[in-house]
Amino acid sequence: MACETWRDKVDAYLDGELAPTDAAPLSAHLRSCSACAADALERVQLKRSVAAAGKRYEPSAEFRARIARSVGKPQRAARWQWGFVLVPAALVVLLSVGVNFYVGRETARRQRAYSELADLHVAALASSTPVDVISTDRHTVKPWFQGKIPFTFNLPELQGSDFTLLGGRVTYFEQTPGAHLVYQLRKHEISVFIFQDRGPAMPVPAPGAVRVLSFNVESWTQDGLRYFVIGDAGAADIEALTKLLRGGS
């Protein structure tokens, strides 16, 4: 009976349209019900497949260059003085379009990346084994990653705080291996993803907290690594964990 109650709300939960009063109980139900967890995973995979298909229709660099060349071709005007007046205006317009295009592209790219991380977060928590190394001791979790990922990272001691380390697992983002740590705050699970900073290959971090679906996300770059903190906890809680991790790193 409980499954029937939640089944119609899974899509709203994954799309970030479910009220917080329902999102937390549904999250708890997914962790305890293998049937609903499998259904949620199937929907997450479908959503990711649709998102991947949409990327095929992004304009290629060659296409954008061809459009830029066609727009930038000088027009043969009968009166050169009109061209002299219009050229600066055209340059301003093109510059504005270029800046807006770049900003819009980076924003869309960041949103896609955050959406993919949200899928990884949901998939892990809906799994029967959210973490591969189960421990609240950072001295156990951190060494477990040696030889499994191509980098090392610092893991601060959070004893005395409201956050509890549950464990970690190896994950992949855009075919890049990284660390996925899971922390608990009251009834919320928060994912911390750590990857090597690959420059332009990684999305530009957004300043401050970002809302993606039903989750809050913070990201930053530090010591050659890119960090992402994501969860359905409040923005203030995500920020608090971010500060603790940044200070310890």
Whether the pLDDT of residue 97 is over 50: the answer is no
Average pLDDT, the chain: 76
Three-state DSSP string of the chain: CHHHHHHCCHHHHHCCCCCHHHHHHHHHHHHHCHHHHHHHHHHHHHHHHHHHHHHCCCCCHHHHHHHHHHHHCCCCCCCHHHHHHHHHHHHHHHHHHHHHHHHHHHHHHHHHHHHHHHHHHHHHHHCCCCCCEECCCHHHHHHHCECCECCCCCCCCCCCCCCEEEEEEEEEECCEEEEEEEEEECCEEEEEEEEECCHHHCCCCCCCCEEECCEEEEEEEECCEEEEEEECCCHHHHHHHHHHHHHHC
Q: What digits encode the pLDDT tens for the residues 124-166?
A: 888 778 889 999 999 999 999 999 999 999 888 888 889 999 9
CATH superfamily membership of 59-249: MucB/RseB, C-terminal domain (3.30.200.100)
Q: What digits encode the pLDDT tens for the residues 11-70?
A: 777 666 667 677 777 777 776 676 777 677 666 666 666 655 555 556 666 666 777 667
Mean pLDDT lowest among 16-30, 98-112, 180-194, 232-246 = 98-112
Q: What digits encode the pLDDT tens for the residues 184-206?
A: 998 899 999 999 987 665 666 66
Q: What digits encode the pLDDT tens for the residues 133-143?
A: 999 999 999 99
> Domain residues of the chain, as ranges?
1-57, 59-249
pTM over 0.75: no
Q: What digits encode the pLDDT tens for the residues 203-227?
A: 666 666 677 667 888 989 888 899 9
